[in-house]
Structure 1
Amino acid sequence: MDRLSPLDAAFLDVEDGDPHASLAMASIAVVEGPPPDHAHFTAVIAARLRPVRRTRQKVRRLPWDLGLPLWVNDPDFDLGYHLRRTALPAPGGEVELTDLIGRIMDERLDRDRPLWECWVVEGLADGRWAMLFKVHHCLVDGVGGTALYSAVFTDEPVSAQDVPPQEQSPSMLRLLLGAVGDLATSPLRQAQLVLRFSFLVAGHATGAVKGLAALAGVITPAGPSSLSGPLGKPRRYRVARASLTDIARVGKSFGVTVNDVVLAAITIGFRALLLDRGELPAADTVRTMVPVSVRAHERSTSVDNRLSVLMPFLPVDLVDPLEVLTAVHERMAALKESGASEAGQAVVALAEQEPFAPLSWGIRFAAGLPQRTVVTVTTNVPGPRDVVHLFGKRVVEILPFVPIAARLRTGVAAMTYRDRLAIGITADYDSTPDIDLLAKTIEQALAGLVALQRFEESDGR
């Protein structure tokens, strides 16, 4: 029996605790036209996803949460239900596409079926089309989502040995007996956990202790602002873009990472948004959650969640772009040095102990409380480095979508593809009608940092 990890299950619990949340992620590939016909599309997707058994499995929870939820085969799996097709209204431009993405993503996935959908979107400008792959966060993180997406992009044929045999789903009686057996052996399991946790801490002793202290600091609330508050169901979505080559040069020139440059531009965007709303950006106004992949190399192609987090305050109180970039770099470096990521892993390891029920109930209860520590989420996922194709057509760009919940009214996801960087911005529809200002300012901030780097380079000569 294949269990969800505590982290995977937590995404389901958070969604259960927020009636307006839809915790599905997405990647949107914009492709040169024309789009494939539906029969050909269905046949190819069926072949590409056949080795990925999660696409034919659904989540089954045990009564009274006696154990972690399980992945079980869907005996009524219907591929046609998961493959959707729609078209944009004329002229099929940026606004029409991003509006559609917002509408598709604000709908929850059906828990009674495998938790994914694949959409063909026709009618994009210049004869293009798009494929939107929507997957619940309990099934993938950003890196795992890229691995799943790569299965669709490949042109290699699927061989018989790549396809796992179909297994019968266990009966509820078997599941309950298994859960009772787990509870009966829980002292032994907990002893094993203590040993595993001890080795984890021993391996990162200094980092883990420092990191737990850093995580403890996160309980301090962020300053009040309109960026945080209750959410409705509808979502808005917009995109900012930049040259990855240019951003990498900025990082190299100023001694920072590409992620630092992106976070600096996002910081400048949030500062502009606050000022436009007549609010004062303070040092403690915007704390962001930055997911960090802790995926081991041997699990690089798996599709489950392997995440920890860093939670820096973005320096929205600073005006000068270079000062913002320096502050972002220093804060991220300090958090990494503090061992916060290792501490996050340790907390997840502790969460693996039984019984599961109190953990699950606690998460659902906490999801209903008005958390005020984190204001937004900002994530950066590496995409394909080379040109990829779908149905023999070149993929022009790939856009990322990150979900929002728990009073986070905005979320920002950056994704690279070849030499381009796409930044997808998700926002609560009612509280963030000015999402275009945020997207435009982030794009302008990236261009401004590139201009500063070129000026510094030319001045140095």
Structure 2
Amino acid sequence: MAESLPIDRVSADDLMSLATERGSTPTQVGAVLFLDTSCRPESTSGFDTAARPDSAAGLDGERVMAVLARRLPGVPRLRQLLVGVPFGCGRPIWVDDPGFDVSRHVSVVACPAPGGEQAVLDLAATMLVTPLPRARALWAATLVTEVSEHQAALIIVFHHVLADGVAGLAVLAGLVDGAGVGGEPGAGAGPGVGVGAGASGFPRPQASVRRLAVDAWTRRLGSPRRMPALLRRLGDAAVELRSVRWTRLRPTSLNVPTGPRRRFATVTVPLAGIRIAGRAQNATINDVVLTAVGGALHRLLTVRGESEDRFIISVPFAERRGATAGELGNHSGVIPIRVPGAGDPARRLRFVAEGTRVAKRSAPGATTALLGPFFRLLARIGLFQWFVDRQRLIHTFVSNLRGPEQRLSIFGCPVPAIVPLSATTGNVTVSFAVLSYADRLTVMLSADPDACPDLAALRGLLAEELAALAG
């Protein structure tokens, strides 16, 4: 049986994620789902009875774990370990965890005083910067009760090697109400992951050392056939890097070494206004957000007594439009975009839109093929953290995900809002994660509270910039 199962190895992007995790902040991502617990069981028709909360008693931790345990087989990676292999046997592999226990991954806490969204975000920040144990499946979830009257929250954190942003949405789709349960295909299991990954086939046996070695050498011997495609990708990467016109950035307070703590803040706006503003200038929603971020950073530095009117923003780019619960991992690169911070908002938006169009004419994210091996080499010789603590190539990161267009529910509770979670290491003191969900656009600001103590002011400036662009 073990000799016939596919070997699930990490990708080159996964390797970079693992190799470069050397700083004070682990490479972890996640989301906060705010839950409306005011619904009565009779109003949640269509959901399994065990998932319905008692609105008077609140969400029950054991019930939540039972529901997740039934849905986890539809997302096989959430019950797998990342393990190394003997020398010569290739990249690390994913294997089923024979000792998997959902209670080791899920906890329940009451919201700290005074409650509310910020208290939940503070909990989420602590979870995100706490390294996940490598001896377990690389995820954790915390149910936060008593956030406010009729409100709870679910914080989910997983290691970036488990999923990038697009794959994270696939994980979410496999856990919410209406997903397939018990390994059924409704959860979006991908090729090679069918019912056999469910309760009846779990855990699957691990491949032998002999088979791992044969598989690794088969892949290596097949490398020459992939050489033309690799050379084309390296060429695309060179074109992409030249198009940015890299210059060493002037020193600003945006780029100083960061510590292990993070604080989050959010700005939420109607999606319709942002979409209309973008269409008026032949721009995307992401272009609008980039323009707003540039304006907010320019104004923040002005208040700090500094002068900078052009920013280089690194924009993660997914190399796939979607993912399934059986096809996770990392398939992404980055595009560096020049963003003006001063001047007429509409003119700045047109400049950004043209810049992103030019960047996307090459193979977007191709720089990963060129820089990935370089960064892994720096990590191997112990210089990667030194490099990212002193880099003067980018000011910040802005990631953008297109979330579900319809409102979700989980445990029978409607989900009125979702906040994306991410944090960066090195000398980027503040970064931004963006998620569109239903009719709202949420921008999450992540900052080192010591290096960026004026996060609340930046949040206000960003809200003003988005409002100005939306008209």
TM-score scaled by length of structure 2 = 0.83
2 CA distance for matches of 1:240 and 1:89? 22
Q: Which amino acid aligns with 1:155?
A: G
Residues 211, 270 of structure 1: alpha-carbon distance in 2 compared, 3 angstrom cutoff = same
Tell me if 1:392 matches 2:409: no
Tell me if 1:197 matches 2:230: yes
Shift of 1:299: 5.7
Residues 150, 250 of structure 1: alpha-carbon distance in 2 compared, 3 angstrom cutoff = same
1 CA distance for matches of 2:11 and 2:131? 21
Who is 1:459 aligned against?
none
Q: Which amino acid aligns with 1:115?
A: L
Q: Is the 8 A contact 1:23 1:137 kept in 2?
A: yes
Who is 1:355 aligned against?
none
Residues 87, 242 of structure 1: alpha-carbon distance in 2 compared, 3 angstrom cutoff = same
Q: Which of 220, 231, 238 does residue 212 from structure 1 map onto?
A: 238
Superposed CA offset, 1:188-211 (max 9, x none): 23312214436xx3xx8xxx7454
Who is 1:333 aligned against?
357
Shift of 1:360: 4.3
Superposed CA offset, 1:119-170 (max 9, x none): 1011212320001111111111111101110111132552565441224453
Q: Which of 415, 427, 443 does residue 407 from structure 1 map onto?
A: 427
Who is 2:48 aligned against?
none
Unmatched tracts of structure 2, length 5 or more: 1-6, 38-54, 186-194
Partner SS, residue 287 of structure 1: strand
Who is 1:55 aligned against?
78
Residues 142, 297 of structure 1: alpha-carbon distance in 2 compared, 3 angstrom cutoff = closer
1 CA distance for matches of 2:107 and 2:348? 43
Q: Which amino acid aligns with 1:130?
A: A
Q: Which of 340, 343, 346 does residue 322 from structure 1 map onto?
A: 346
1 CA distance for matches of 2:364 and 2:336? 10
2 CA distance for matches of 1:212 and 1:442? 33
Partner SS, residue 366 of structure 2: helix
1 CA distance for matches of 2:321 and 2:368? 13
Partner SS, residue 411 of structure 1: strand
1 CA distance for matches of 2:18 and 2:451? 25
Residues 24, 65 of structure 1: alpha-carbon distance in 2 compared, 3 angstrom cutoff = farther
Who is 1:39 aligned against?
62
Q: Which moved further from structure 2: 42-51 or 156-165?
A: 156-165
2 CA distance for matches of 1:14 and 1:415? 25
2 CA distance for matches of 1:403 and 1:253? 32
1 CA distance for matches of 2:226 and 2:115? 54
Superposed CA offset, 1:240-264 (max 9, x none): 1110011111112222111111111
1 CA distance for matches of 2:150 and 2:427? 39
Who is 2:17 aligned against?
11
Q: Which moved further from structure 2: 23-32 or 123-132?
A: 123-132
Tell me if 1:107 matches 2:130: yes
Tell me if 1:166 matches 2:239: no
Q: Is the 8 A contact 1:310 1:340 kept in 2?
A: no
Who is 1:230 aligned against?
257
Residues 211, 375 of structure 1: alpha-carbon distance in 2 compared, 3 angstrom cutoff = same
Superposed CA offset, 1:331-367 (max 9, x none): 2122122x1516346549x96xxxxxx9845444342
Q: Which amino acid aligns with 1:13?
A: A
1 CA distance for matches of 2:334 and 2:33? 27
2 CA distance for matches of 1:109 and 1:218? 38
Who is 2:156 aligned against?
133
Partner SS, residue 323 of structure 1: helix
Who is 1:454 aligned against?
none
2 CA distance for matches of 1:102 and 1:359? 26
Residues 156, 61 of structure 1: alpha-carbon distance in 2 compared, 3 angstrom cutoff = closer
2 CA distance for matches of 1:274 and 1:240? 19
Tell me if 1:188 matches 2:232: no
CA RMSD between the two structures: 2.6
Q: Is the 8 A contact 2:83 2:95 kept in 1?
A: yes
2 CA distance for matches of 1:275 and 1:134? 35
Residues 411, 178 of structure 1: alpha-carbon distance in 2 compared, 3 angstrom cutoff = farther
Q: Which of 349, 369, 374 does residue 386 from structure 2 map onto?
A: 369
Partner SS, residue 378 of structure 1: strand
Aligned residues: 428
1 CA distance for matches of 2:84 and 2:455? 37
Q: Is the 8 A contact 1:26 1:133 kept in 2?
A: yes
Tell me if 1:123 matches 2:146: yes
Partner SS, residue 368 of structure 1: helix
Superposed CA offset, 1:219-253 (max 9, x none): 64322111112221111111011100111111122
2 CA distance for matches of 1:435 and 1:5? 36
Unmatched tracts of structure 1, length 5 or more: 352-357, 452-461
Shift of 1:178: 5.2
Shift of 1:180: 4.9
Who is 1:255 aligned against?
282
Q: Which amino acid aligns with 1:264?
A: T
Q: Is the 8 A contact 1:215 1:343 kept in 2?
A: no
Shift of 1:394: 1.1
Q: Which amino acid aligns with 2:385?
A: G
